[in-house]
Chains A and B, each alone.
Chain A
Amino acid sequence: MAADIFAIAGSALDAQDSRMAAIASNLANADSIAAPGQTPYKAREVIFQPMMDSPFESQIDAQTADAGVQVAGTITSGAPSVQKYDPGNPLADSKGYVTGSNVSQVNEMVDLIDSSNSYAASVAVLQSASRVDQQILSSFQVV
């Protein structure tokens, strides 16, 4: 069996899962506000990197190839936080502004759709791989 296709698709599912978790966290905190002097919630983004750095150097070989994707790390968005004029709010500063998060809900939704598309594609890979395996297995069944 060539480089384990189930491990490759599994790593993709893992990575997309953590990306969707970050998006869920961002959306959940979209409306959170911070007291004056405290840092408001910053949107987080998960960065991926390939497990296999330079596939050109070594031929994709069945046993040794380590293909797939992994999470390289998380970065926080540098976008400016939202300032809203709301003097009645107990967390407003001396000028009456409340500091919110820097989450863009539209961006997060687009990201979520992209991520769930990738997730579905990996699931389709898994399904077709298992279908092929079934077929190959049954081809060795000689009556």
Chain B
Amino acid sequence: MQAGFLSYYDGIFNTAQDRQALIANNIANANTPGFKAMDIPFQATLAAHLTGATPPGPQYRASATVGLDGNDVALDNERIEGTQNAEQLMAAATFLHQSTADLITALRPNPSGS
């Protein structure tokens, strides 16, 4: 039994929580003049967490239409991304729950006591 899968969940949680904070920041600045929406690339960041490299960091989304006030936050997009990210986090938490439960079961002494 290898416990290395725990570092995988560590990577997922860290990456998804950073994304969650960035998306919250985007939504908070939906009416800020000149603000540009940011996000981090999930796969590259997760890979960096798993290999111990430096994560790539936040990057501008640069996909949406820029409004007259220089703001390019699309509220609907951010909410979609936010919901997806939250589901991902909860899925990871659910899998982690099952994995640790299995680990605990394996660690328990023989219940029949023989």
Contacts and interface: CB of A to CB of B under 8 A. Distances in A.
Interface of A: 1-5, 8-9, 11-12, 15-16, 19, 47-50, 52, 55-56, 59-60, 62, 65, 67-69, 114-115, 117-118, 121-122, 124-125, 128-129, 131-132, 135-136, 138-143
B17 A2 contact: yes
B19 to A, nearest CB: 9
B32 A69 contact: yes
Judged by DSSP, the binding face of B is helix
Contacts of A50: 25, 29, 32, 35
A52 B27 CA distance: 14
A67 B87 CA distance: 23
Contacts of B57: 56, 59-60
B55 A59 contact: yes
Contact of B14 (A2, A69, A139, A142): A2
Contact-residue size bin, chain B (C-beta under 8 Å from the other chain): 35 or more
A121 B82 CA distance: 10
Given A2-B18, A142-B100, 5 more contacts: A49-B32, A60-B21, A121-B75, A139-B96, A139-B97
B24 interface: yes
A65 B32 CA distance: 18
B92 to A, nearest CB: 9
Contacts of A19: 31
A10 to B, nearest CB: 9
B68 to A, nearest CB: 13
Contacts of B89: 132, 135-136
Interface string B11-23: 0011001101111
Given A59-B55, A69-B29, A128 B93 contact: no
Contacts of A11: 28
A5 B21 contact: yes
B30 interface: yes
Given A8-B28, A49-B32, A1 B75 contact: no
Nearest to B30: A118
Contact of A118 (B23, B25, B75, B104): B75
Nearest to A57: B57
B93 A68 contact: no
B50 interface: no
A12 B96 CA distance: 32
